[in-house]
Amino acid sequence: MTVYLDYAATTPLRKEVFECYVSYLQQLGNPSSVHSSGQQVRRALEEARESLARSVDCNRNEVIFTSGGTESDNLAIKGLYWQRKAEDEKRNIIISAGTEHHAVIDPIEWLEKHDGAEILWLPIDSEGVLDLEFLSTFLAEQGERVALISLMWANNETGVITDIPRITAMAKQYGIPVHSDAIAAFGHMPLSFKDSGLAAMSISAHKIGGPVGAGALLVSRATKLVSLVHGGGQERGMRSGTMNAPVAKAFALAAEIAVAELESEMQRLEELRDYLVDQVQAITKVAKHTGSQVKRLPNNAHFIFEGCSGDSLLFLLDQQGICVSTGSACQAGVNGPSHVLVAMGRSSRDANGCLRMTLGQETTKADIDIFLKALPAALDGALKAGLPS
């Protein structure tokens, strides 16, 4: 039996979402075609757009379908930067944080290397909280040079939540668009694109029971950005290419279900998460709970296990059929300390010893108890192995 505690990496495809996806795969037609078959597929696509818009509280025309979160982040960051720089050459500063997902960090650093961008990485405390007073002071001094701000709504490793509406209110005074990677947050906390003040927001289907390869970038109607992909001009001219109606329908249904169940699932998962945290800390003194003093996602439990390697602990738990993580699955195969913990000012020793457990729709107390029963032996083995030199 496998106990899956890695919902932040990906989630099981919901049965009803799978059935929806398969049923629309059987429809023939290109949604850009004018004949009846094409228009039937087009209607399905636009129904999905309308449904997803309701789930994220935005206008249907603000939904740009993409292949996933990484594409959405790249389109937002590069597209906004190039648009702003074309409008005003002196706006070349991008503000972000070292705790962001690499789908945000890497395109920003690419723009620094290839297109003259300057980066301001915001200071972060040891709990993962951004220094927004520093941001306010910087904007007052150099706001006219800032092209965009990109900050995630909730951290995918620690679960720490950022006050996005406060940031957009600051940025508005200086005409600065704000993008947020909300991939970890969507479906796990209440979100409203309309009320957020954001220019753009990234979301992904496979984090909420939908298929891999489905994402969206929400782009406000007042926001312009340069396209990365040129061709047929689909998706408001921002993302050319034949649109994938089956994937869009599956994504929209997964979002609809996640939002409908949000209130009850938040309470259920928070209770399970708190039980997990309390029991882990009762089992061992070497487990330090990250972000315990700040607002965070209800399904996330992140620990630093002092004196051992998170990778060792992960593999020893995996041998007992328990799936957990040391951080982002998008960095799979890359050994080294968590860049998120390092950005929080934690030591390399701490950043090498972290473990993340994330819960979801199929997680039960029995799953948590199996994990807790397996933890002491795995921890003993990891402590004996020690930290990498």
Q: How far is CA 314 from CA 73, 157, 324, in A?
A: 29, 15, 6
281 with 212, same domain?
Answer: no
Same domain, 198 and 160: yes
Residue-level pLDDT at 389: 63
Domain end among 204, 238, 260? 260
Do 69 and 212 belong together in one domain? yes
Same-domain pairing of 266 and 251: no
Do the strands 146-150 and 178-181 form a parallel or antiparallel pair, or are they unpaired? Answer: parallel
In this structure, what are the phi and psi dihedrals at residue 73, rounded to the nearest 5 degrees? -65, -45
269 and 141, same structural domain? no
End-of-domain residue from the set 260, 294, 309:
260
Q: Are residues 241 and 284 in the same domain?
A: no
- The verdict on 236 and 271 lying in the same domain is no
Catalytic residues: 330
Q: Which residues contact 152 (CB under 8 A, 6 or more apart)?
A: 97, 99, 100, 101, 104, 162, 180, 181, 182, 183, 184, 185
Task: Examine the domain organization and report whether 304 and 207 are in the same domain.
Answer: no
Length of the chain: 389
The model's pTM is 0.96
* Co-location of 228 and 274 in the same domain: no
Q: Give, for all 389 residues of the chain, the pLDDT tens digit.
A: 899 999 999 999 999 999 999 999 999 999 999 999 999 999 999 999 999 999 999 999 999 999 999 999 999 999 999 999 999 999 999 999 999 999 999 999 999 999 999 999 999 999 999 999 999 999 999 999 999 999 999 999 999 999 999 999 999 999 999 999 999 999 999 999 999 999 999 999 999 999 999 999 999 999 999 999 999 999 999 999 999 999 999 999 999 999 999 999 999 999 999 999 999 999 999 999 998 778 999 999 999 999 999 999 999 999 999 999 997 555 555 667 999 999 999 999 999 999 999 999 999 999 999 999 999 999 999 999 877 76
Q: Which of 207, 242, 260 marks a domain boundary?
A: 260
User: At 284, which CATH number?
Assistant: 3.90.1150.10
Verify that 75 and 212 share a domain, yes or no.
yes
179 backbone dihedrals φ, ψ, rounded to 5°: -110, 145
Cβ proximity of 258 and 205 under 8 Å: no
CA atoms within a 13 Å half-sphere pointing along the CA-CB vector of 236: 21
What is the pLDDT at residue 331? 55
Looking at the structure, do residues 46 and 155 belong to the same domain, yes or no?
A: yes
Measured CA to CA, the distance from residue 216 to residue 49 in angstroms comes to 10
CATH number for 186: 3.40.640.10
User: What's the pLDDT score for residue 246?
Assistant: 97
pLDDT of res. 13:
98
Report pLDDT for 385. Answer: 84
Q: What is the pLDDT of residue 261?
A: 98
Could you tell me if 355 and 300 lie in one domain?
yes
Q: Which domain holds residue 140?
A: 15-260
